[in-house]
Structure 1
């Protein structure tokens, strides 16, 4: 080989090495999983997340491998924040649950730029028999009203009312009232579907520290027909069939039955400026609906991770279409937020904000929060609750 050829070969090697340095392999995350005690080798457990478009099948699928009594999987870290969960036997009904068999929030790993490991313990799968019963977790003064008749639905419901610390001794004071949907998840771990919001604990802490003004909170539970009761318009149901939503009846049950009951028994500020409605997911959709259609009652609303993908049989987004058709805009303040993980980006929540502004909502009456580490669960809604209430209270 000639001197020139040797020189060229060395140059080529150096060039390739330089390219390799500019494109180092992506860092990895190794997830080590301790499965439930009854785990069987016949079970398949797949890891899904934003790193693989939540895919259970195909080239993007990741299954956990058993190695020396340990289940693990290694994935490339392609996102700033890695959101993931596990699915048993490719059935979305079987996902991680705690010892009370209540579903767990999506897991989060904040990337640090290098290889990492994360340990995950799965006590049960959703649908399993609980290993232990959930304990009551009520704090402060909470009054239970059993079997409140809701004529709008022809049934009754149990209602929980949180009273501020000063309520018993400051007898001249009236308080704003916040009605919260999915009420079984608001105060009590025993009744919560998953994690509880811990609203009672939060208010006890925040009002004592002077970070929030005191308020009454009324927790209104949903029924087994939540998907219908928390949809205000005709929509395409999960089975692909046309379904008439009963969201208007849900609001009427609060406005015409529950609110008069609460106002007659407690020292409330009954005016719209002192009356709010909050909810998450479909409950968040209902909060926006209340601001659109019932601003004469609800002067402030909070929509945590509102459902933004509900469509009618023609494939039209029911919320966006309703906003476009809204003729009269009230003065309700609307707080609404979303986690980046929930829809993969912020396009839909930004579209919601633009539509509300276009239809005449005042910019000062809208508060949009984008949470880069937000997930679709009570843990993160609870985390965002204090800031939401602080902003809403500014107008009370």
Structure 2
């Protein structure tokens, strides 16, 4: 076991009295303070803990008020904040926790945006209610006739204000840079709400109440979204369309691309969460050929609870690539060094995906069954 000292140098101004405690993936995000309580000292607080070496920690600070209400740390505008991440080494050490504020019941939070917002937003009818479509095209262009990228988790891909935890993919900046290099595209990003697990997971699991809605979602993309985009921006041949997403969004991308092989020519399968229903997608995809489809498949090397488990995730990603190669035209495997399962990692890898997709449309930089390592410096706008 390694000895860690979690140190909060200064609590956010106005922090009320109550029990400060640490939670995270290692505790199943429990709100029970027992065993993980901070001791307040001056303006800050401190917690000493023993954690197994090799653990990949994602943690947050919570506060239990005297009346039993539990608050979680947030950003300075009262929105959700990303987790603090740490690889536990044998020698342990001091791990500072910079708290910006506490979450408030404000929806959406009043956080500003650092990144480029979309050019337009649509609201289209869908079986689950109104569907927000966030649209982007390059400066100086009207978006017509461009290759089309449909992205899941559209609330997270452009500006930070509507994001889940204050981090975005910076998709507009990445796409503008490619446009200026001669490879423009149109992006249609589909926002999602609390029904994400139902809409993106095609197999029955507890998170979707054993009532999957991925087929309904993919049907809507084909019968409603694509015709609406065609009417506004002109027809785009399937070979020039891409579908992409991360985590469950990566799962529904893989599933949708193989389910309807003539709809999208490229799939961006980022950090796919393939575990639902005991890796059912691996069984389902057997024999489902999509011979004209190119697949970008990526994974970070810190996407698990321990270093060993993360290495296993990378191995499973390579196994998935090997299963895909006989079914599709091309597979590009990218492993993000030092990348966790979060928006910061997907922002770092997104420019590499865009470059590979768009240049591949012209026959350039096509690498067949290939692999590369990615890090935030070489492929990202900001680490």
**TM-score normalised by structure 1 residue count:** 0.75
Q: Could you tell me which of 309, 312, 333 is aligned with 1:368? A: 333
Shift of 1:159: 1.7
Unpaired stretches in structure 2, ≥5 consecutive residues: 362-383
Partner deviation per Cα, 1:175-233 (whole Å, 9 max, x = no partner): 1110011112222323222222221123224433x2x7211000111244222111123
Instruction: Report deviation, 1:252.
Output: 1.4
- 1:228-307 → structure 2 map (5 Å cutoff): 228-233=198-203, 235-238=204-207, 243-267=210-234, 270-307=236-273
Of 44, 47, 59, which residue of structure 1 is paired with 2:20? Answer: 44
Question: What's the secondary structure of 1:369's corresponding residue?
Answer: strand
Q: 1:64 to 1:361 in 2, by over 3 A?
A: farther
Q: Does 1:108 align with 2:85?
A: yes
Q: 1:213 to 1:40 in 2, by over 3 A?
A: same
Shift of 1:346: 3.6
Matches for 1:136-155 after TM superposition, within 5 Å: 139=116, 142-145=119-122, 147-150=123-126, 153=127, 155=129
Unaligned residue ranges in structure 1 (runs of 5+): 1-24
CA contact (8 A) 1:272 1:295 kept: no
Describe the shift of the 1:33–1:376 C-alpha distance in structure 2 as closer, same or farther (beyond 3 A): farther
Paired with 2:109 and 2:249, the residues of 1 have a C-alpha distance of: 29
- On the 8 A contact 2:54/2:88 being kept in 1, the answer is yes
Shift of 1:116: 5.7
Structure 2 counterpart of 1:382: 347
Using a 3 Å threshold, how does the CA distance of structure 1 residues 104 and 304 change in structure 2: closer, same or farther?
farther
Q: 1:358 aligns with which of 313, 323, 327?
A: 323
Rg: which structure is higher?
Answer: 1
Could you report, residue by residue, the CA deviation over 1:117-137 in whole angstroms, capped at 9, with x for unpaired residues? 554332334455589722356
What's the counterpart of residue 184 of structure 2? Answer: 214
Partner of 1:32: 8
For the 8 Å contact 1:308–1:348, the answer to whether it is kept is no
Paired residues in the alignment total 352
After superposition, the Cα gap between the structure-2 partners of 1:161 and 1:130, relative to the gap in structure 1 and judged at 3 Å, is closer
CA–CA separation in structure 1 for the residues paired with 2:247 and 2:197: 11
